[in-house]
Amino acid sequence: MRILGASAILLLVVSSQLALGQSTPSTLPPTSLLLRPAAVFDGETLHAGWVVLIENDKIKAVGPSAQLTAPAGARTLELPGLTLLPGLIEGHSHMLLHPYNETPWNDQVLLESSALRVARATAHARRTLEAGFTTARDLGSEGAGYADVGLKQAIDQGLIPGPRLLVATRALVATGSYGPKLSAEVDVPQGAQEADGVDGIIRAVREQIGKGADIIKVYADYRWGAGEPSRPTFSQEELTLIVQTARSTGRPVVAHASTPEGMRRAALAGVQTIEHGDAGTLEVFKLMKQRGVALCPTVAAGDAISQYRGWRKGQDPEPERLVQKRLSMKAAKQSGVELAIGGDVGVFTHGDNLREAEQLIQDFGLPTLQVLRGLTSTNARLFQLPDRGRIQPGLLADLIAVSGDPTQDIKALRQVRLVVKGGVIVKQ
């Protein structure tokens, strides 16, 4: 019996298709879908009476209904009363974590098996997509190694539903500065990769990239011991080397930083975004603006952790960490530094991603339109994703439809009625 190779089999299939008058995969007619909502938010502005035409996985055309005609054979989907907008972009998540009031972070890193964590992450990815977030930066696997790379591959291959992921894999910490920590006599697996000095840093950055990292995350400051405040960890030279090494491969660096000095060093090194910035000052935020470094404030994470520790929101005085956060956000707004929108999801429940946007508006006074743009076009620009975040011809057909007008009430984004990813309806 003769066994044909893959090339021979493909040739036979194509020949058969041609003989029968069928199209080959490269010449299949485009699949078109016309969406008719009440209004379209294109990532910047709301347009009543606009429609959007999708062809395969891209946006083909957008504009007033009277000026746009669907091609013959196109399917039309009526969306009365709904607003169509770009798929939302989550700026800071951890798919392999779940809320700390369910299981403490130490126990997740030390006691939960890799299989359990990946199974949870699979459910988290689905919830994120169904909540309207079609892209997410996943900023550290927190002790799960390169499981985030496998999760991304499973989504990309259509094995499981989920957003388009940008993964940071293990993240980088200075030796001794992270956790979990038990006693001085016990070495336990860490929640990130330790690296120090020129050779160690270059090797670690290149290793993570070689294993599939889209982003390098570095902890520019952290607690060295229990009960201590955060302090800078890496030197200026080390942070600059991390950015240079990653940048040479086309990858950005993001920095966890909450102290003014850690933030200053990260900004001077040229990171893409600084995460948290809890004790940021007007001076350091002005430096960030000057250097083109955005702030991802993650206000929802601090709020959640404070409640886990017993704070009764709306009843008790705000804890010191939240008072400090208010001061830093006031300074950030005054400085004009750009804001990325991301909640540190995983600290709180996946699928509840909108919590960050709601708190930025309700608790910190950001304009609704600024936050909505942040979740779409601004995040896309800050994260260097030119193929998404807006509704315009040629971009990815990642779209959602919601009840109501999210330019007036951000809570409309909780009423997701349709999710389209790459031209495919994944929730209706």
Q: Could you report the per-residue pLDDT of 53-72, keeping only the tens digit for each?
A: 999 999 999 999 999 988 99
pLDDT average, residue stretch 313-319: 95
Is residue 23 predicted with pLDDT exceeding 80? no
Query: Please, which pLDDT band fits residue 225 given cuts at 50, 70 and 90?
Result: confident
Per-residue pLDDT, 226: 80
Q: How far is C-alpha 132 from the geometric centre of its chain's CA atoms?
A: 12
pLDDT average, residue stretch 225-246: 95
Range name among 17-26, 74-83, 332-341 with the lowest pLDDT average: 17-26
Check if CATH label 3.60.15.10 holds for domain 88-382: no
Range name among 111-120, 217-226, 403-412 with the lowest pLDDT average: 217-226
**Intervals of CATH 2.30.40.10 along the chain:** 31-86+391-427
Per-residue pLDDT, 10: 38
Asked if omega into 180 is within 30° of 0 (cis), the reply is yes
Which long-range contacts (C-beta less than 8 Å, at least 24 apart) are formed by 307-311? Answer: 308/99, 308/100, 308/101
Per-residue pLDDT, 29: 65
Range name among 13-27, 133-147, 212-226, 315-329 with the lowest pLDDT average: 13-27
Is residue 1 predicted with pLDDT exceeding 60? no
Closest CA to 390 of 50, 37, 86, 163: 86
pLDDT digits (tens, 9 = 90+) for 250-264: 999 999 999 999 999
**Intervals of CATH 3.20.20.140 along the chain:** 88-382
Query: Please, which pLDDT band fits residue 387 given cuts at 50, 70 and 90?
Result: very high
Per-residue pLDDT, 191: 96
Per-residue pLDDT, 67: 93
How large a percentage of the chain has pLDDT more than 70?
93
Per-residue pLDDT, 17: 41
Query: Please, which pLDDT band fits residue 308 given cuts at 50, 70 and 90?
Result: very high
Average pLDDT score, the chain: 93
pLDDT average, residue stretch 397-418: 98
pLDDT average, residue stretch 401-426: 98
Give the whole-angstrom CA distance, residue 41 versus residue 414. 16
pLDDT average, residue stretch 90-118: 98
pLDDT average, residue stretch 358-368: 98
pLDDT average, residue stretch 65-92: 96
Per-residue pLDDT, 13: 37
- Residues ≥6 apart with Cβ < 8 Å to 321: 278, 302, 306
pLDDT digits (tens, 9 = 90+) for 172-207: 999 999 999 888 888 898 999 999 999 999 999 999
Q: What is the pTM of this model?
A: 0.92
Check if CATH label 1.10.238.10 holds for domain 31-86+391-427: no
| Vertex 193: Cα angle to 90 and 251 (nearest 5) | 50
